[in-house]
C-alpha cells in the first residue's frame, strides 16, 4: 500500500501581485487548471466534526485528509493525506465506528456509511513550484497554489509534502520563509474553500461545525463567524 503523506500547508489571501512576486523569486508556473471538488459527509457532518475531509476531485479520484499530531504550533495545518481507496475506507470506518467487511472502494461504502454530497464547487487554479534560494538542488520544491472558486472566493496556499513527523519543522521553516517573501503576515490565516462554501450556502451547518471546535482547534483555517475571514 502506498505510504501516506503528511501535508504541511499554510493558507493566505493572495494579492494582485502574488504571481508577479512568485516570478521574481524564481517560481515556475506548472499549469493552470479547472476542476470540480465534491465533499461527502453524513447529514450531521460527522466527518467534518471529527476534522476529517472526504473529497472527490474531478479527474483525480478520492482523497481523505485528517489531522496528524501537530509537531509545531502556528498558523499552519498538518494533515495526513490518504489517496489509496482501501486506506480511505479503513479510516472512514474507524472514525464513523462502522465495520464493513471486504469493502475496498469508497463509492461502495458511501451508502452503508450514510455519506452524501454536502458541498461541490469548481476551482480555477494556478499551480506554481519554487525552490528557495540557497536550498539544496535535490530538495523538493515548495508548491504554491492560487485558487479562485466559482462562488467568488480566492485563496492561496504554500505546501510541502513530507513522509515523517521529524521532517515537519524544516518544511514549516521553508513555508514560513516563502510566505513572508510573498508578503503574508506572520499570523495570517485564511479559511479553506469548503469552509467558505458551507458558510455561504449552508450557514446552519457552518455554525454547528464551529461549535465543535475551540478557537485554537478550528479546522482548516476556520475562524469565528463574527471575526474577519480575510
Strand-pair category, 142-149 with 116-130: antiparallel
Q: Domain for residue 230, yes or no?
A: no
Tell me the per-residue pLDDT of 21-47, one tens digit each, with 9 for 90 and over. Answer: 999 999 999 999 999 999 999 999 999
The reply to whether 193 sits in an annotated binding site is yes
The reply to whether 157 sits in an annotated binding site is yes
Three-class SS of residue 91? helix
The reply to whether 216 sits in an annotated binding site is no
Q: How far apart are CA 164 and CA 168, in angstroms?
A: 7
- What's the rounded mean pLDDT across residues 120-148? 88
Q: Domain for residue 221, yes or no?
A: no
Q: Domain for residue 225, yes or no?
A: no
* Residues 62, 67, 69: CA angle, nearest 5 degrees: 140
pLDDT of residue 224: 38
Residue 136 — very low, low, confident or very high, per pLDDT cuts 50/70/90?
A: low
pLDDT of residue 104: 80
Residue 178 — very low, low, confident or very high, per pLDDT cuts 50/70/90?
A: very high
pLDDT of residue 225: 35
- What's the rounded mean pLDDT across residues 107-133? 95
Q: Domain for residue 206, yes or no?
A: yes
Tell me the per-residue pLDDT of 209-227, one tens digit each, with 9 for 90 and over. Answer: 888 764 434 554 444 332 2
What length does the chain have?
230
Domain CATH number, residue 126: 2.40.320.10
Residue 69 — very low, low, confident or very high, per pLDDT cuts 50/70/90?
A: low
For residue 58 the three cell numbers come to 474531478
Q: Domain for residue 152, yes or no?
A: yes
Closest CA to 156 of 178, 132, 171, 172: 178
Report the chain's terminal Cα–Cα distance, integer Å: 39
> What are residue 121's DSSP bridge partners?
37
pLDDT of residue 67: 86
The reply to whether 165 sits in an annotated binding site is no
Question: Of 99-108, 153-162, 220-229, which range is least confident?
Answer: 220-229
- What's the rounded mean pLDDT across residues 119-137? 87
pLDDT of residue 62: 97
Q: How far apart are CA 41 and CA 201, in angstroms?
A: 16
Q: What sign has the CA pseudo-torsion 213, 5, 161, 170?
A: positive
Instruction: Give the domain extent around 202.
Output: 6-213
For residue 153 the three cell numbers come to 472566493
* CA 94 to chain CA centroid, nearest Å: 21
The reply to whether 150 sits in an annotated binding site is no
Closest CA to 63 of 45, 43, 47, 87: 87
What angle separates helix 203-212 from helix 193-201, to the nearest 10 degrees? 130
Q: Domain for residue 126, yes or no?
A: yes
Domain count of the fold of the chain: 1
The reply to whether 55 sits in an annotated binding site is yes
Q: Domain for residue 26, yes or no?
A: yes
pLDDT of residue 54: 98
pLDDT of residue 175: 93
pLDDT of residue 16: 92
- What's the rounded mean pLDDT across residues 190-211? 92
Q: Domain for residue 68, yes or no?
A: yes
The reply to whether 159 sits in an annotated binding site is yes
Q: Is the pLDDT of residue 74 over 70?
A: no
Residue 147 — very low, low, confident or very high, per pLDDT cuts 50/70/90?
A: very high
Average pLDDT, the chain: 85
Residue 1 — very low, low, confident or very high, per pLDDT cuts 50/70/90?
A: very low
Question: Which backbone phi and psi does 127 adopt, to 5 degrees?
Answer: -105, 125
Amino acid at each position: 500500500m502506498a505510504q501516506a503523506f503528511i501535508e504541511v500547508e499554510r493558507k493566505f489571501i493572495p494579492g494582485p501581485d502574488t504571481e508577479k512576486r512568485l516570478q521574481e523569486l524564481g517560481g515556475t508556473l506548472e499549469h493552470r487548471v479547472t476542476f470540480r471538488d465534491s465533499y461527502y459527509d453524513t447529514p450531521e457532518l460527522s466527518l467534518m466534526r471529527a476534522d476529517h475531509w472526504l473529497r472527490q476531485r474531478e479527474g483525480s479520484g478520492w482523497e481523505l485528509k485528517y489531522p496528524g499530531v501537530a509537531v509545531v504550533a502556528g498558523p499552519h495545518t498538518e494533515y495526513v493525506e490518504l489517496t489509496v481507496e482501501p486506506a480511505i475506507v479503513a479510516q472512514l470506518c474507524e472514525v464513523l465506528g462502522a465495520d464493513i467487511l471486504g469493502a475496498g472502494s469508497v463509492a461502495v461504502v458511501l451508502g452503508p456509511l450514510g455519506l452524501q454530497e454536502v458541498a461541490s464547487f469548481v476551482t480555477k487554479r494556478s499551480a506554481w513550484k519554487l525552490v528557495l534560494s540557497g536550498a539544496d538542488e535535490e530538495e523538493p520544491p515548495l508548491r504554491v497554489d492560487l485558487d479562485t472558486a466559482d462562488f467568488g472566493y480566492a485563496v492561496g496556499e504554500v505546501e510541502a509534502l513530507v513522509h515523517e513527523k521529524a521532517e515537519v519543522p524544516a518544511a514549516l521553516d521553508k513555508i514560513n520563509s516563502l510566505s513572508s517573501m510573498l508578503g503574508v503576515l506572520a499570523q495570517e490565516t485564511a479559511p479553506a474553500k469548503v469552509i467558505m462554501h458551507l458558510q455561504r450556502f449552508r450557514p446552519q451547518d457552518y455554525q454547528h461545525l464551529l461549535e465543535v471546535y475551540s478557537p485554537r482547534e478550528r479546522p482548516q483555517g476556520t475562524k469565528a463567524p463574527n471575526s474577519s475571514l480575510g
